A and B are shown apart, each in its own frame.
Chain A
Amino acid sequence: MKLPFRVEIEQRTRDIPKWMPFVTSLSAVILAFIISGIILAVIGGNPFQVYAYFFTAAFGSWGALSDVIVKATPLLLIGLGCGLAFKMKLWNIGAEGQFYIGAFCASLVVLVPLVPLETTPKFLVLLLMGLLGMIGGAIYGLIPGILKAKFNVSEIITTLMLNYIAVNWNNYWIFGKFSDAGFQMTPTFDKVAWLPRLSDLAKQYRVFSGITLHLGVVFGLVAAIIIWLIVRYSRWGYEINLIGDNPRAARYAGINITRNIVLVFMVSGALAGLAGMSEVTGVVHRLQERISTNYGFSGVIVAWLAKLNPFATILVSFLFGALIVAGREIQPSGLSFFIQGTILFLVISSDVLLRYRIRILRQTRETA
């Protein structure tokens, strides 16, 4: 049988227009929602109802919108860190673990306590917690970094295994040492260790009452700008880009690859650790089990969807924050997970359109 047309795929020779990556990614996201809707309809749900609910749950009120930004904050920090590592083709999938260790180290300031909480000023406590969170995350990122750089051990596996180790490590301290009367959580932190929130201003401005948005989002935005400056303008950023694009050329140029692998892993871990600190001080105000709803993995997707661009990461993490906020209220519970996977899958498939032209040609007698 002869089809009346044929499909030809050829490599693009000319540069693609600037808007095209954006349009293909956006269509991929939309298509992912359509496919998920079909799956939902097949298992007996009403996709229109669910998506309408999705929308109001995420953007229906100022409170919901602030929840979205709160959820987007850890994703932004983790996405930035992963994006930096991915630039060097380092697959840091261990943000989840680095997040937990960051949260743990930051919590030590309050739980041990490392400083007298009654007398130390708030900003000093928070600064110390932030620093310890970043150091904890960085050290936890150092492990796979050194193993990769020195022994060429696959960082994909080591970072993944370290995730499970970090969760168990935290649980030991939560259940065993710092437990609040045998519950699966530590006592609530002293107010001095709470990140400032908009609702703190409710007395002066009535609008802010109940708005949970906290300072962590500023960490994320500042980090985005810093990462952008580093990658764009610094010598180190140039080295990272070069190693990612052509490691052999980088080595001939005298760039110390081993050192850069370890460094990038540490920065990536530090950002995830800061996300952990921001979550315990800004949202839960205690150390407990399951402080992360898979932020580490969603962060990987965020980074990739944003094409490793720091500013795009802000936008994408906002979208995923909405997905998480809406997802925790709808059944079945795996749906937001499924949508995330579908989005990433379609986005990487759509990349083929950027490299290849797909032409549909009419089949004539001569060509057939």
Chain B
Amino acid sequence: MNLEVILRAGLSTGTILIFAAIGEILTERAGIQNLGVEGMMLLGAMAAFKTSLATGSPWLGLLAGIAAGGILSLAHGLVTIHFQADQVVSGLSLSFLGTGLALVLGEGLTGQNAPLIPTADFPLLSRIPYIGPIFFTNFNILVYVGYLFIPLAWFFIYRTRPGMHLRAVGEKPSAADTLGVNVYAVRYFYTFIGGCLAGLAGATISIAVSPGWYSNLTTSGQGWIAVALVIFAQWNPLRAALGGYLFGMLRRFMLDLQGPMVLLGMRNPFFYDHNLVFFLQMTPFILTIVALVWGSRAAMRKRLGAPAALGVPYVRGERGL
């Protein structure tokens, strides 16, 4: 068990969660809850892998993954924004739709090798002693994109005018509307952006971090963990990033725990009884629940919780939020 290996694995697998979670944060900030992240991610992973395989260009694959997630999310947008359908049910069916579509279109992709997003060193920063080799060397490029994306997302939401409009639409759409913000357009736009980022997260899996197409095991529930991460992060990209990287590290730690024969001076039970691995596999999900309980209590205490209009359809001229 090597701390540096765990840290680096966390940074690379955490990138997946961070793209998906920040995408969902942007969508929910606009007042739309999209539970279809898992479906959009899987479709994005499939589209990216298939396109990269067909064209030989991982960059085209990346674009295809992003587009696939975005286009699928528009279905959710139409149904919830214009038809005012229940967002939970619509999001769930989006998950089914995306998963089913990805499985249908992904027939025969298993076991193939597609060109992958290249790895590289971050210019200049990779030469910093100690920090450089851990954080800025020999990662696939999307990991560095993630580094830059986190502060940008935070700055956008809290420090720019469009970010303020976004928050206003999620908190009090009628007030935003009065001030001339087009509530419907903003909601469509961020639903789309959230879908694009979920697609990007999927592409990050299939053509960068753990390459390949393993039907619905490709995402294996990470889309749902991303949705949970949003609540834990209290809709703040910086906290989502922290949670995402920690989660990635934890997953690697669980894997490494089965390696050594002796653990903390004692017989390592995970080495001797391989069936205990099922308990290790439970842990991320248990921790998600624990984090949610803790996050929900903190959110209640600090009154920093969900956007006030989250999940509430907006109808012009009707009473409501």
Residues of chain A touching chain B, judged by Cβ–Cβ distance below 8 Å, are: 39, 43, 91, 93, 147, 151-154, 156-158, 160-162, 164-165, 168-169, 171-172, 175-176, 297, 300-301, 304, 331-342, 344-345, 348-349, 351-352, 355
Contact = CB atoms under 8 A, between A and B. Distances in A.
A39 B105 CA distance: 9
Contact of B97 (A162, A331, A333, A342): A342
A338 B100 contact: yes
Contact of B286 (A93, A165, A171, A345): A165
Interface of B: 35, 39, 75, 78-79, 82-86, 88-90, 92-107, 215, 221, 224, 227-228, 231, 273, 275-276, 278-279, 281-282, 285-286, 288-289, 292-293, 296-297, 300
Given A153-B293, A332-B107, A168 B279 contact: yes
Given A176-B275, A338-B101, A352-B84, A157 B93 contact: no
A282 B224 CA distance: 32
Contacts of A341: 39, 93-101
A352 B227 contact: no
B96 A301 contact: yes
Given A161-B289, A176-B273, A344 B100 contact: no
Nearest to A338: B100
B90 A331 contact: no
A161 to B, nearest CB: 4
Contact of B221 (A164, A172, A331, A352): A164
B49 to A, nearest CB: 15
Nearest to A148: B296
A165 B79 CA distance: 32
A349 B228 contact: no
Contact of A156 (B35, B98, B293, B296): B35
Contacts of A39: 101, 104
A161 B288 contact: yes
A338 B97 contact: yes
B102 A154 contact: no
Greatest chain A CB density within 10 A among B96, B98, B221, B231 is at B96
Given A300-B92, A341-B94, A351-B83, 9 more contacts: A156-B88, A157-B224, A157-B227, A168-B279, A176-B276, A332-B103, A341-B93, A341-B95, A344-B96
Contacts of B221: 160, 164
16 contacts: A39-B104, A43-B104, A152-B296, A161-B224, A165-B282, A168-B279, A169-B278, A172-B275, A175-B278, A332-B104, A333-B107, A341-B98, A341-B101, A348-B90, A348-B93, A349-B78
Contacts of A161: 224, 228, 285-286, 288-289
A352 B103 contact: no
A348 B278 contact: no
Contacts of B106: 334
A79 B106 CA distance: 30
Nearest to A348: B85
Nearest to B38: A160
Nearest to B306: A154
A332 B224 CA distance: 25
A147 B293 contact: yes
A91 B276 CA distance: 31
Given A153-B296, A156-B35, A338-B104, A172 B93 contact: no
A93 B95 CA distance: 13
A334 B100 contact: yes
A283 to B, nearest CB: 23
Nearest 9 interchain pairs by C-beta: A334-B103, A338-B100, A341-B96, A176-B275, A341-B97, A337-B100, A344-B93, A172-B278, A352-B83
A154 B100 CA distance: 26
Greatest chain A CB density within 10 A among B102, B228, B289 is at B289
Nearest to B98: A341
Nearest to A45: B104
